[in-house]
Structure 1
């Protein structure tokens, strides 16, 4: 038996009044309406509205939406916080992602018909309630004047879909199939954990659903036979009317690959690109900062800590809405890119990302464990054993809160199944700003090989902070294959005396589902086998990393 706890909806805020908003199919979605001045100020003059659509309880403590709404009201905004379909007080099925375009449109339409609305709507929020903004924008409602999605992506949460014609694929997050079994299981928030030592997760999912006496519609949509239900009716979230966007990405957000994929897609749509403003901060998915004090690295933030968090989280959006919703200023007053140089001198403005003046620098691994500017002429092979019973452990208990614990990753390099390559110490500060990538030629004596590449900043005392990472999967791995692995983007100051180090491994568990060594489905598990994994170092297929350097000389 699993230990299962349910978190029902919290009491609705006394600062708001309840609304039930009818969708086009008759389903009623629950909203909290916050009006400046009084909870039921029906005679309030019409004004601008900020809409927040989320699945985590519009009244709950986890997302502290009542405090967010109060902060927005101080700037004169009306606020509507809404439980998405099937969650907490809203009717309908708890079905991930697929109803958010139409439900977003219908909610905005309802807002425009209220006496307290002047017909102008903005949206704000993180993660899934960043995704609902992309969905509402894709609906094309003309009243939506600006959005501020943070730490999210249009492909948020989507399981890895393997192209049968390709040897490569992504590596599946461990949380992918758990999300519809917990946060999106039914109306409440349902909390439980599988036995991570068993690894027969599909069987444990069935045991859990048998225990609670019902099934997850979203889980059954995805596993074991995926049903394709389109998230975006047009097929492309950026095909229609564009909306001015303040798009926030965190350097340490585990969802940032989804954000950067959207940036790339937006660049190919000129009408969206013209209104796209990028903000990049030294934060993770839970908005912990790189330079937070030890006292602020707590998951359960106090009322005072939340109050301190709100200005840096909300003020950029409010400044953006002042121009694009209220018309107080010009679009030219808003930088196209605002970014944080971690360990540098704070936020910078730029006309483009990467900023002008950057150059690409390549470093090559050597058989002796170094990273150098010269590619070794003679190819060699470095090998290690992938043991499904002794996996490389993930370094944080919660992948969404990396900066909560900010672990020292140096000890992982002492394992026999982690290859380590290190540069010389930097003679002076080096500012990195832009994409990082790796080129690997790998093989295995097993059918499928996952390859994880991590870039670390090694301090003079030997401790190491992860600053970039990426992973890809090679199928038919008994034949060598060359992979280009995207390690994301970084804005980071490598300080004098520090070194860059790279870790290469074939597991990162439980953040990512591990390979069995036999080709069996990692979610279902099954028979396992040791695999010998290999990486080519030197020669024409050399292991190489490309960094984007803005200032200074990389060692």
Structure 2
């Protein structure tokens, strides 16, 4: 084995054709590079479409390692990027341009009737954009840290994912400048966070971060609450079940797109398909998922384009369980045999499986002028490594409910949710829930989190006492709480700058001014209002469990 990849003698050389023009129906030419392995008869094709450049450091992420194993690779730059004509319209041109590229591909004399699609993040989204309509020649897809729609990731729980939106817009804006491909990934998040913390209205932050208005950022603001139009041609989640090609997905517990990547997996399963799913201890820009992504993709492509399934694992779902430091193999997601258990929030900040008690609610005040920060959690750029949340827990606007020390290991593997009974003196407000693992030394590290902006369809009608019952979806988890550790749940109303602070006014994001209203929040935990976090407790043993060389991010 070399870097975990199988040996393949005699295929270390390839030739490259640069800047192949692919003319779109509107006359715009998109440029592509074609890598051809030497000495291979009728090599199948892997197609990659990217806005991040075709060469240099991007080559590995674009699939170059597949070429020595007998695959020809076509890497195309998206419209308006890296020499391709037209204007870059993020997410907006991928379906039409992608389908036109597939038709061009099928007409080439060197195309031999079968192709696959590969890629992480935006590259994977570009593949989803055409997958349902690409035709029978599409034989396989292997996609990483991505989803068929980025809409819900932009508006997490109905809030605005400020840091990620501003970071990515600045990144793509600056990479068009000289040396931008190298410098933008290193500086965009810092500029975005600085702008987000300025206190200026959201509509001004693109200029503050990047020095100029940035179209995609303004589009995200303008279409936050728009049900149709902008997102109709950018959301391909409704077509996932119609994709005939076998699909392999790889994600990370701390990736910004994980909930929606799992939604794609479930849509494929509901349509009767048999996708593969891998989830590791990774975040979006974590370099550690690069090699597993290549390794699993190579096995997938050899199985479905070359008829060699010898590299495929027996069980389709492979999960890394943090805290246990083990890889587990299952037949499906969620893992079979588990059960959903309610851990109730108690007065006095307790947490347990025993029922709620008749006590008054816990309360705090959220001030959008001093929004509750997020110390960790999924972010687009930079590290999402779990961090110690004790500084956050000392704030008066954070409720922390903690269990007694566990008498035995407890494994939580699957979707995590919260069922809360809350009351606010503001109609427009947010609730954020976070699950933490508290070690014997007091360190409180985040496991997963989620939020909900009110008003929302994910709430029951408000009672005569003003109490709302809300359902908050957290990120999925695969984690062992070790014996002697404690489980902790945060309830708060901000995670700034990951999500924009709710000003409490109900004004549209794009036109909201600096007026901000404090919100008095109450969380109920009595027999009539049994607030709880819902944990997926692991059931029967997995098909296999393997000690992992990868270290837990904590």
Question: Helix, strand or coil: the match of 2:114?
Answer: strand
107-116 or 117-126, larger mean C-alpha shift: 107-116
Shift in Å at residue 525 of structure 1? 3.6
Q: Which of 141, 145, 169 in structure 1 is aligned with 2:139?
A: 145
Q: Which residue of 2 aligns with 1:542?
A: 530
Q: Does 1:279 align with 2:284?
A: no
CA pair 398-539 structure 1, distance change in 2 beyond 3 A = closer
Q: 1:205 to 1:17 in 2, by over 3 A?
A: closer
Task: Name the CA distance, whole Å, in 2 between partners of 1:249 and 1:474.
Answer: 29
Of the three residues 116, 140, 154, the one matched with 1:122 is 116
In the TM superposition, residue 502 of structure 1 has moved relative to its aligned partner by 0.7
Corresponding residue for residue 165 of structure 1:
none
Larger helix proportion, structure 1 or 2?
2
Offset at residue 205 of structure 1 (A): 3.5
Q: Distance in 1 between matches of 2:75 and 2:466?
A: 53
Quick one: structure 1 residues 78 and 173, their matched pair in 2 at CA, closer, same or farther if it must change by over 3 Å? same
2:426 counterpart of 1:443: no
| Cα offsets for 1:15-68 (capped at 9, x unmatched) | 66231212232221121222224xxxxx9632012222121222253xx32475
Between the aligned partners of 1:139 and 1:526, the Cα distance in structure 2 is 46
5+ residue gaps, structure 2, are 1-13, 457-461, 541-554
C-alpha spacing 1:158/1:422, structure 2 compared with 1 (3 Å):
closer
Aligned to 2:52: 56
Separation of aligned partners in 1, 2:352 and 2:382:
29
1:60-209 to 2 correspondence within 5 Å? 60-61=56-57, 64-66=58-60, 69-157=63-151, 170-175=158-163, 177-178=165-166, 181-185=169-173, 188=176, 191=188, 193=192, 194=195, 196-205=197-206
Indicate yes or no: 2:355 matched with 1:355. Answer: no
In the superposition, the TM-score normalised over structure 1's length comes to 0.82
Tell me the secondary structure at the aligned position of residue 238 of structure 1.
Answer: helix
- Which residue of the partner structure matches residue 298 of structure 2? 318
CA displacement 1:461-492 (0-9 Å, x = unmatched) = 11122112111112298932111111132111
**Pairing partner for 2:320 from 340, 348, 357:** 340
Equivalent residues of 2:393, 2:400 under 8 A apart: yes
* Cα contact 2:364–2:522 (8 A) shared by 1: yes
Deviates more, 1:469-478 or 1:529-538: 469-478
2:21–2:30 Cα contact (<8 Å) kept: yes
1:182 CA drift (Å): 2.2
Q: TM-score, with normalisation over the residues of structure 2?
A: 0.82
Q: 1:486 to 1:402 in 2, by over 3 A?
A: farther
Say if 2:336 and 2:539, in contact at 8 Å, map to a contact too: no
Counting matched residue pairs gives: 502
Determine the C-alpha separation between the residues in 1 that align with 2:107 and 2:36. Answer: 15
Partner in structure 2 of residue 417 of structure 1: 397
Q: 1:371 to 1:151 in 2, by over 3 A?
A: same
Measured in 2, the distance between the counterparts of 1:232 and 1:204 equals 24
CA contact (8 A) 1:520 1:526 kept: no
Three-state SS of the structure 2 residue aligned to 1:134 is: helix
Determine the C-alpha separation between the residues in 1 that align with 2:339 and 2:153: 35
Equivalent residues of 1:520, 1:527 under 8 A apart: no
Partner of 1:504: 491
CA deviation string 1:517-550 (max 9, x = no partner):
3333455342112221111112221211111112
- 1:244-255 correspondence to structure 2 within 5 Å: 244-255=246-257
* Corresponding position: 1:520 with 2:507: yes
Shift of 1:219: 4.4
Determine if contact 2:15/2:36 at 8 Å carries over to the other structure. Answer: no
When residues 122 and 208 of structure 1 are mapped into structure 2, their CA distance, relative to the original with a 3 A threshold, is same
1:111/1:455 Cα in 2 relative to 1: closer, same or farther (>3 Å)? same
User: What is aligned with 1:303?
Assistant: none
Q: Distance in 1 between matches of 2:40 and 2:269?
A: 41
40, 46, 56: which one aligns with 2:42: 46
1:237 to 217, 236, 239: 239
Of residues 215-224 and 426-435 in structure 1, the stretch that sits farther from structure 2 once superposed is 215-224
Structure 1 alignment gaps of length 5 or more: 1-12, 38-42, 163-168, 290-308
Q: Is the 8 A contact 2:44 2:71 kept in 1?
A: yes
In 2, Cα distance between the equivalents of 1:283 and 1:233? 25
SS at match of 1:119: coil
Q: CA deviation at 1:398?
A: 7.8
Q: Which moved more, 1:417-426 or 1:64-73?
A: 64-73
After superposition, the Cα gap between the structure-2 partners of 1:449 and 1:67, relative to the gap in structure 1 and judged at 3 Å, is closer
* Whole-Å separation in 2 of the counterparts to 1:261 and 1:318: 24
**In the alignment, what sits opposite 2:261?**
259
SS at match of 1:103: helix
User: Take 2:68 and 2:87, find their aligned partners in 1: how far apart are those partners?
Assistant: 35
Q: Structure 2 vs 1, CA of residues 236 and 499 (structure 1 numbering), >3 Å: closer, same or farther? A: same
Q: 1:362-414: per-residue Cα shift (whole Å, max 9, x none)?
A: 21111111111112231421110111222111214982357555321122111
Partners in 2 of 1:434 and 1:396 — Cα distance? Answer: 21
Match of 1:454 in 2: 434
Please say if residues 377 and 384 of structure 2, whose CA atoms lie closer than 8 Å, have aligned partners that are also in contact.
Answer: no
- Residues 500, 180 of structure 1: alpha-carbon distance in 2 compared, 3 angstrom cutoff: closer
Equivalence map 1:348-497=2 (5 Å): 348-396=328-376, 399-400=379-380, 403=383, 405-475=385-455, 479-497=466-484
Instruction: Please give the per-residue CA displacement for 1:283-316, whole angstroms capped at 9, x wherever unaligned.
Output: 1111356xxxxxxxxxxxxxxxxxxx65323101
Change (3 A) 1:204 1:338: closer
After superposition, the C-alpha distances for 1:427-482 in whole angstroms (9 at most, x for unaligned) are 22222211111101112112311000000111111112211211111229893211
